[in-house]
Structure 1
Amino acid sequence: MELSGIGTLILLFFLTFLVTVWVRRNKQSALPPGPTPLPLLGNILQINFKDIVHSFVQLGTQYGPVSMVHLGQKKAVVLNGYDVVREAFIDNGEVFSDRAKLAIAEIAFKGYGVLFSNGERWRQMRRFTLSTLRNFGMGKRSLEERVQEEAKCLAEEFRKKEGAQFDPTFLLSLAVSNITCSIFFNERFEYEDKEFLSMLALIKEAFRIVTSPWAQIFELAPNFFMYLPGSHHTVFNIFDKVNEFMMKKITMHEATLDENCPRDYIDCFLIKMREEKDNLNTEFNINNLLVNVMNLFFAGTETSGTTLTYSLLILLKYPDVRKKIQEEIDLVIGQSRCPSVEDRINMPYTDAVIHEIQRFADIVPLGLARATSQDTKFRGYHIPKGTTVFPMLTTVLKDEKYFKNPQAFDPNHFLDDKGNLKKIEAFIPFSLGKRNCLGEGLARMEIFLFLTYILQMFDLKCHTDPEEIDISPVPNSGSFTARPYTISMTQRI
């Protein structure tokens, strides 16, 4: 009797084991297609980390719009093309709305802030940030006037260099950063301010490292690499210095806070912290404030600054395009006033060129990685909860289904037969869905106002023949930036 009972238990255990193995194999076979992973290593020997963007695009070519790659032990889904990205982020937005856990961000920000958090923390931080940005001028005349004033300051810096060849990258970043500072700190910095210049230099260096091949390799085994020398330590040191700068600003705000008259984002957050001081579970704490400011300062400075830097290089390459923009500026705006946001609707060619610059420059080709919030079935494939998802924005902005000549710079992509601006749904440089860029409205305003004011005031020249100018991005980076160049500006008569 006892032996019979033991035999039954063994049989049940064996059957359970077989069912478990069958279920696991069935789920494994239902995963999206991709290269066969090696034990422990995954597909890291099959990926060119020096050009991970190209490697992920090739996955789409070989395995289809939904493919899977194993980065060590971590599974990652790669989405190639507009249709599949839209289906994931719009039609299945709840499932694909988490932010992927990235080792550098986890170590630096510890899950705080609007950019790399999830769940209720993310929802509260995003809702508060969007509301506050609107209150402080996002999409309003007050912020437009700040950008116009900063454009004049930038033009003055250009006049100081009139006739000389110089790299405009840093000046453009300073101008854009000052707009971000006005929203968060209620102040702007002079272009010679040493502390400000040092901070921007640190931000640029951090951005370079976190988009480099080394950052991708660090993600594979962060606990191991933390004990070894490498540029990741430089990044964390930079974050510490930026953290110190931001905390100094927050402390100054605390000392001078007037709850009846908030000056900027920091004041609004501090007031909210005081309102919820008795709530033990509140998300409005100093950690979220600090990381929010850091996240948005980094993102707001680099993306628009990089786009403007790329814009001038492209316009050096295509003087005929530059001339048409200036003709439209002269016709619609003239020389007696600054460009305004309202002018944009009457400047379809300029608007089309800016759209095409953003499409062609493609400065965030991998997109910011998402993650699945639950197990899901997508396009017939099983995708487990917590799987990293790369929305390949480069394949969206260069999707042959939506752009006739996707690899070439051509403003006609965004012009109809009558010369009017043409809307193309695959134009999503700011991503889409619940995790789209918080600062999209500000970025669009900055790029239009800065660029049109520069072209209103100056003629652009360089020593290199336009046909020899290379507008392909700096190679071996997870973020596309313009190759280094110099430019000279002369006042238009």
Structure 2
Amino acid sequence: MERARHDRMVTCLALLLLLILMLLLWWGRLVHRAQMQKDLPPGPAPLPLLGNLLQLQSGNLDRVLMELSSHWGPVFTVWLGPLPAVVLCGYEALRDALVLQADAFSGRGAMAVFDRFTRGNGIAFSNGPRWHTLRNFALGVLREFGVGRSTIEDRILEEAACVLDEFQATMGAPFDPQQILDNAVSNVICTVVFGKRYNYGDPEFLRLLNLFSDNFCIMSSRWGEIYNMFPSFMDWIPGPHHRIFKNFQELRLFISEQIQWHRQSRQTGEPRDFIDCFLDQMDKEQQDLESHFQDETLVMTTHDLFFGGTETTSTTLRYGLLIMLKYPEVAAKVQEELDATVGRTRAPRIEDRARLPYTNAVLHEIQRFISVLPLGLPRALTRDVNLKSHFLHKGTFVIPLLVSAHRDPTQFKDPDHFNPTNFLDDNGEFQNSDAFMPFALGKRMCLGAGLARSEIFLFLTAILQKFSLLPVGSPANINLTPQCTGLGNVPPAFQLRLVAR
């Protein structure tokens, strides 16, 4: 009896101590949140729970944030539901944060739609030592397999030749170029990651590309925006956002099957591609309990490279063709320069870019004008910082509004319109701008930026060298407004016709 009473007292005391500890933790979080809110930069007043949701219009989030900046300044706070976000608007604020304080702004801010899938694995949404380790490893492997060298240029040119063959088969008939461009761009990264390319008619691969495109569109829609603000609530609400995770699971299965095939067919120490290199590193660190080279990390890192190396570059190419249809005089001038400098008997190469100032300006202007990732990917502060007279706490969620640098009137002559002279000096020579940041800035700059630049140049110049692009209808009626904008700016669906030059 005495023993039972003693056990009950010990249990009650333990529960009491646990309750006190939980209350202290809860109180500490409230105090910390209150302190952070007090120090946050000013911004529009939020509603309880909803935050500034009613002000942040769907499909115009980037424009609304730039309008708010005109009132609240280049560094201000908006509330994404219950989450405060500090917005960086304009080239100067982005430079001061992402370049001059690159380490402090090198954390990745949480996005619920990705967190549910990645669980902090992979490159894009990991943080701390895991991110450093995986990023450095991936950069090394990409270099080993030719990224940044002539090896990858030759691979892109081979794929560009396939694109030209596919385009040639449509000659004169209206067609949508999305599937061909998706397949071509994805094949380049597939040769690095999976060690092989896929035929343009491969039904399994076409299905995967459709999954990428579908997810990019949903995550760029209001459904994706609301899910990131209220994930627990949205898990119970029917809607297309649930398709994101079904798509993710299908992609995960494909990648897992590829990894399994590599395990069965690889020769240790003789890597054929990224997956083999990762498996070799897993073997080396299998006794290290804190190793970042694990099965789940391999799946997520492969997905990040696969998705990141496909969707934004393909979207940029599609938008580029649409803009050339809208402005045929620009396309004609590019073709005139290509004819004079390269001719029509060989494909343009990267080394030609320095001798193609107008073409180079047009390709930069396409990327500036469309701002394929207008809000960038969110950052999180790795330490306390001072920025523009504001004190920001470690962990603060930051939106680097990349489109605001691209539309900054202090940096570009004609920021609100498509105008290649934004990248030309008074003598017609190419002139780059520090405010050009389609791949972000600082420590979190896209690790495939160099590959994407090469693909955009080589694919678009190859197409314009061989074909004249004709719209289906009048160029004046072509709409350049994205069909959805949020995570990304997705161009409206369109068709074109080709005529051999």
CA-CA distance at 1:377 after TM superposition: 2.6
Moved more, 464-473 or 212-221: 464-473
Moved more, 350-359 or 477-486: 477-486
For the pair 1:96 / 2:105, whether they are aligned, the reply is yes
Equivalent residues, number? 473
CA-CA distance at 1:58 after TM superposition: 1.8
Residue of structure 2 in register with 1:137 after alignment = 146
Q: CA RMSD, aligned part only? A: 1.8
Say if 2:96 and 2:387, in contact at 8 Å, map to a contact too.
no
Q: 2:168 aligns with which of 145, 159, 175?
A: 159
Residue of structure 1 in register with 2:25 after alignment = none
Residue of structure 2 in register with 1:450 after alignment = 459
Say if 1:51 and 1:478, in contact at 8 Å, map to a contact too.
no
Unaligned runs of 5+ in 2: 1-29
For the pair 1:179 / 2:188, whether they are aligned, the reply is yes
Moved more, 320-329 or 143-152: 320-329
Residue of structure 2 in register with 1:85 after alignment = 94
Q: Distance in 2 between matches of 1:345 and 1:45?
A: 47
Change (3 A) 1:249 1:402: same
Q: Distance in 2 between matches of 1:181 and 1:320?
A: 35
> What amino acid is the match of 2:190?
C
Change (3 A) 1:174 1:23: closer
Change (3 A) 1:470 1:41: closer
CA-CA distance at 1:29 after TM superposition: 4.3
Q: Distance in 1 between matches of 2:210 and 2:383?
A: 40
For the pair 1:246 / 2:231, whether they are aligned, the reply is no
Q: After the TM superposition, which residues 218-233 of structure 1 pair with which residues of structure 2 at under 5 Å, given as runs?
A: 218-233=227-242
Secondary structure at the counterpart of residue 498 of structure 2: strand
**TM-score after normalising by structure 2:** 0.91
Residue of structure 2 in register with 1:6 after alignment = none
CA-CA distance at 1:28 after TM superposition: 4.2
Secondary structure at the counterpart of residue 443 of structure 1: helix
Say if 1:53 and 1:478, in contact at 8 Å, map to a contact too.
no
Residue of structure 2 in register with 1:69 after alignment = 78
Q: After the TM superposition, which residues 414-425 of structure 1 pair with which residues of structure 2 at under 5 Å, given as runs?
A: 414-425=423-434
Q: 1:276 aligns with which of 285, 301, 319?
A: 285
CA-CA distance at 1:251 after TM superposition: 0.7
CA-CA distance at 1:314 after TM superposition: 0.8
Q: After the TM superposition, which residues 192-341 of structure 1 pair with which residues of structure 2 at under 5 Å, given as runs?
A: 192-341=201-350
Deviations along 1:48-72, one digit per CA (max 9) or x if unpaired, are: 2342222212221120100001222
For the pair 1:347 / 2:356, whether they are aligned, the reply is yes
Q: Distance in 1 between matches of 2:273 and 2:485?
A: 38
Q: Distance in 2 between matches of 1:391 and 1:336?
A: 44
Q: Distance in 2 between matches of 1:473 and 1:396?
A: 19
After superposing on structure 2, the runs of 4+ consecutive aligned residues of structure 1 that deviate more than 3 Å are 21-30, 475-478
CA-CA distance at 1:24 after TM superposition: 8.6
**TM-score after normalising by structure 1:** 0.93
CA-CA distance at 1:459 after TM superposition: 1.2
Unaligned runs of 5+ in 1: 1-20
Q: Distance in 2 between matches of 1:61 and 1:177?
A: 40
Residue of structure 1 in register with 2:372 after alignment = 363
> What amino acid is the match of 1:240?
Q
Q: Distance in 2 between matches of 1:24 and 1:84?
A: 25
Residue of structure 2 in register with 1:469 after alignment = 478
Residue of structure 2 in register with 1:11 after alignment = none
